[in-house]
A and B are shown apart, each in its own frame.
Chain A
């Protein structure tokens, strides 16, 4: 598209140190002469580094989030001059807290329920299901339209865990809570790659249902070995803990 296939292959081989000396020198000579090739090599380097460091970065951000809360809790001395303001605004604050307590979870749910786009179109032959239309419906938030196609796909292949997960997401979004919980609990018990994604979504479902302690317990199932998801879960747990303690 932007670069010849053979050049992309060369870049890959160069970065993985798979070129022999002659080919390596020839490639480096081209780099000096061809800015687009240089840019593409640089991008490949950035993408590889980004992937390698992604899990560590997310763990660091989760730690930063906790550390910042600890470090920037308002000191008592700073609260003094504001006391009157606090007292003066007491009625408004009480109202705000009540409002917050009445509807805490949907806000948290919306904040964390960011679905990755569905892309089944290139996955496999799917018989009568129009995968491109299904991807489009899900990615545009038309969950009622996506759900029947996901059901059809599951009938063809009941063990497809990716389809199971996206079906469950549709059910959550359509507020078919019981069916969503059943689907996610089944996925959670299996050993698929989406096992802990299921725990994540189950926790989000519980948050929307205001079952915050259940959500905490579910998030705790996500093991540290699933670094990215674990980091996200840790961050969410900090927020949940604060809501529970309020």
Chain B
């Protein structure tokens, strides 16, 4: 059942420490190390500084979604991974604008030696969609359910939550908790994206 993929040493540094443990200096480090080469690459490939900013932001949001997915493992250096996401995002944008992509390939070769780029992109897209689905369906729960489930995970005691939610007994609290989880589960199952997640084409 366990994920067999071997994490690159950057996984611990950026994903675990930076995102999961909330050491935001690691995220600042991502900007410090990779902003300049990635911005420069876009500006050499039909883009502006503003384009680079937009694409960088999109990529960091994708990376955040991935980092908080329990299945995500960074199997290559962070620079290479960012470059794959960055290039793909920029290609999508150019396609939307109906422009041909005339990218300079020297950077691509330098960053992506030996990597199965398409597989990495497919996995990233799949996991990101699942995270978005969980976000979306959680947001469809009632406020009470959201408060209750978040409260439990934030470490609020059963007693405190029972009182604050105006529930008369701990029994009601547990019934409500399971009902909320069950409702959330049903919302996930009802979402067409979930079928696609289970059976990617």
Contact = CB atoms under 8 A, between A and B. Distances in A.
A119 B142 contact: yes
B47 interface: no
A54 B189 contact: no
B70 to A, nearest CB: 4
A192 B143 contact: no
Contacts, number: 127
A53 B20 contact: yes
Contacts of A127: none
A46 B130 contact: yes
Contact of A55 (B147, B150, B161, B185): B150
A116 B27 contact: no
Contact of A50 (B134, B144, B146): B134
Nearest to B22: A56
Contact of B27 (A49, A64, A194): A64
Contact of A61 (B49, B64, B130): B64
A184 to B, nearest CB: 14
Nearest to A5: B182
Given A49-B70, A57-B64, A75 B49 contact: yes
A55 to B, nearest CB: 6
A68 B134 contact: no
A60 to B, nearest CB: 6
Give the interface residue-count category, chain A.
35 or more
Given A50-B131, A119-B141, A119-B145, A60 B166 contact: no
Contacts of A61: 61, 64
Contacts of B154: 55, 225, 227
Given A47-B134, A56-B68, A64-B64, 17 more contacts: A1-B186, A1-B189, A45-B70, A46-B70, A47-B181, A50-B131, A50-B135, A54-B150, A60-B24, A67-B31, A68-B31, A68-B60, A71-B35, A123-B144, A160-B166, A192-B164, A225-B154
Interface of A: 1-2, 8, 31, 39, 41, 43-47, 49-57, 59-61, 63-64, 67-68, 71-72, 74-75, 78, 114, 116-120, 122-123, 159-162, 165-166, 191-194, 197, 225, 227-228
5 contacts: A54-B150, A64-B27, A64-B61, A72-B35, A75-B49
